[in-house]
Amino acid sequence: MAKPNAKGPVRTVQIFCAKCKFQLLKCRKGGKGALVKCFKERIVEDYTNEEGICPSCNVQFARDTMIRGAPALKVVGGKVHMK
């Protein structure tokens, strides 16, 4: 399987908790679709204490996984929204 593009996308999105509106991540995203995964090498800023858990309301918004041989956060549907 091919690894994600090394250069990476230019567009940066802010990811917020859907329950408490706390800012969780700032990440470079490719494409126009929904946020399904976020490769760890593309995370610009991380505002969480534990990986995949909102520090404000303790809801798990993502799982740690390997996608195409690269570590990533697989986002749980409906737990986050992005701007």
Q: What is the pLDDT of residues 3-49, one digit of tens each?
A: 766 667 888 999 999 999 999 999 999 888 999 999 999 999 999 99
Q: How many CB atoms lie within 10 A of CB 32?
A: 6
Average pLDDT, integer, range 67-80: 94
The answer to whether 61 touches 24, Cβ cutoff 8 Å, is: yes
- Predicted TM-score of the model (pTM): 0.85
Quote the tokens at residue 69: 């041989």
What pLDDT was estimated at residue 7? 67
Question: What count of residues does the chain have?
Answer: 83
What pLDDT was estimated at residue 6? 63
- 51: pLDDT confidence band, cut at 50, 70 and 90? very high
DSSP 9-58: -S-EEEEEETTT--EEEEEE--SSS---EEEGGGEEEE--SSTTB-TTT-
